[in-house]
C-alpha cells in the first residue's frame, strides 16, 4: 500500500528553529493538520537530507536556462554533496554554466534539502493552502516550501 506525505521545509536547508519557535511550529502543525491526516511530526533530523518527491519525481531542470538536467550528472553531484553531509550543495550546470545549488535546481514535482522537517502523513489534500502556509511561515519567521511525496 502506498502512502502520501506532505513535508514542509525551510527555504534554507540547514535552518533549524530555536526551542520556542520549534514548540510553536509543532503546535500549529498539529492544530492545522492532525484531524485531517494520519500523523504529524515536526523536528530537527540532525543533518541536512534530500527531501524527495518519491513516485512524483518527473524531472530536474536548470534554473538558469530551463534545460533538462541529465540524471547521471545529477546523481554524481548528489553523491559528491552527500560526502559533505549536504553542507556544500553548490553546482555549476553544464548547459549554460550557471552557478547554483542542488537545492535551487528546478525539481518537478518540487523537492529540496532540509534538516528541519514538518511531516504530515496522509493529509486529505496534496498541499497545504496559502492561509495554512502563511500561519506556519509567521511562526517560523521565514519562507517555507512544500514537498509532496508518494511512496
Q: Smallest distance from the beta carbon of 62 to Zn ion, in angstroms?
A: 3
Task: Note whether 65 binds Zn ion by CB under 5 A.
Answer: yes
Calculated CA dihedral for residues 25, 26, 30, 33, nearest 10 degrees:
60
SS3 32: helix
Q: Smallest distance from the beta carbon of 118 to Zn ion, in angstroms?
A: 32
8 A C-beta contact, residue 87 and residue 14: yes
Task: Note whether 91 binds Zn ion by CB under 5 A.
Answer: no
Q: How many H-runs (helices) and E-runs (strands) does the chain carry?
A: 3, 8
Site track 3-42 with Zn ion (rule: CB under 5 A), x = hit: ----------------------------------------
Residue 16 vs 106, nearer CB to Zn ion: 106
Stretch binding Zn ion (CB under 5 A), from 44-52, 92-100, 104-112, 141-149: 92-100
Q: Smallest distance from the beta carbon of 121 to Zn ion, in angstroms?
A: 36
At residue 46, what are phi and psi to the nearest 5 degrees? 90, -30
Cell of 145: 516550501
Amino acid at each position: 500500500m502506498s502512502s502520501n506525505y506532505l513535508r514542509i521545509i525551510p527555504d534554507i536547508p540547514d535552518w533549524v528553529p530555536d526551542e520556542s519557535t520549534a514548540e510553536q511550529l509543532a503546535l500549529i502543525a498539529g492544530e492545522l493538520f492532525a484531524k485531517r491526516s494520519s500523523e504529524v511530526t515536526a523536528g530537527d533530523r540532525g543533518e541536512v537530507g534530500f527531501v524527495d518527491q518519491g513516485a512524483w519525481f518527473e524531472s530536474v531542470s536548470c534554473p538558469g536556462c530551463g534545460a533538462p538536467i541529465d540524471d547521471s550528472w545529477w546523481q554524481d553531484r548528489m553523491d559528491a554533496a552527500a560526502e559533505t553531509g549536504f553542507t556544500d550543495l553548490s553546482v555549476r550546470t553544464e548547459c549554460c554554466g550557471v552557478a547554483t545549488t542542488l537545492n535551487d535546481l528546478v525539481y518537478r514535482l518540487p523537492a529540496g534539502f532540509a534538516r528541519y522537517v514538518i511531516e504530515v502523513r496522509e493529509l486529505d489534500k496534496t498541499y497545504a493552502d496559502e492561509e495554512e502556509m502563511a500561519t506556519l511561515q509567521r511562526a517560523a519567521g521565514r519562507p517555507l516550501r512544500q514537498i509532496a511525496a508518494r511512496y
